[in-house]
Amino acid sequence: MTFTLSSTDITDGGVLPDAQVQAKGNTSPHLKWSGAPEGTRSFAITCYDPDAPTGSGFWHWTVANIPADVSEVAAGGPLPSGAVEGRTDFGEPGFGGAAPPPGHGPHRYIFTVFAVDTDRLEVTPDNSGAVFGFNLHFHTLAKASITATYENAG
């Protein structure tokens, strides 16, 4: 079975809806996954913009420690008990919608769900996307992504 990700809000290769844009809705999208590999003990979610003019991209959302019996999150939450949202590059935990600089061109927003081999990653709401990514590097069994674009024409 293949690990897959779907959404009623975002489409792979599509344009990010206004609901997921910071200035227009700033709401995390619905995400649903299936086909997690054997040994999955929890899940994590990230949203990353590799096109941000920072030299290192931009983390819009990091979530870890979603229980293994969960296979879906609703738009805007709430997240399951025990889940931890990390600090985005906006400076605080939670979802931070798309906000590319005006006239910078289209940015990709990569929503990824990770099947994780441990019940709990050692991360906190104060941790950055880099810390979440470091922990995920050592514990990911499989991952599935949806990439949507958004451009702020200015």
Residue 87 and residue 128 in contact, taking contact as beta carbons nearer than 8 Å = yes
Q: Are the CB atoms for 59 and 110 separated by under 8 Å?
A: no
pTM higher than 0.85: yes
- Token pair belonging to 44: 């994590």
Instruction: Give the contacts of 149 (CB within 8 A, at least 6 positions apart).
Output: 14, 15, 16, 106, 107, 108, 109
Give me the residues of the chain with pLDDT under 70, please: none
What pLDDT sits at residue 122? 96
Letter for the amino acid at 126? D
For position 153, what pLDDT does the model report?
A: 87
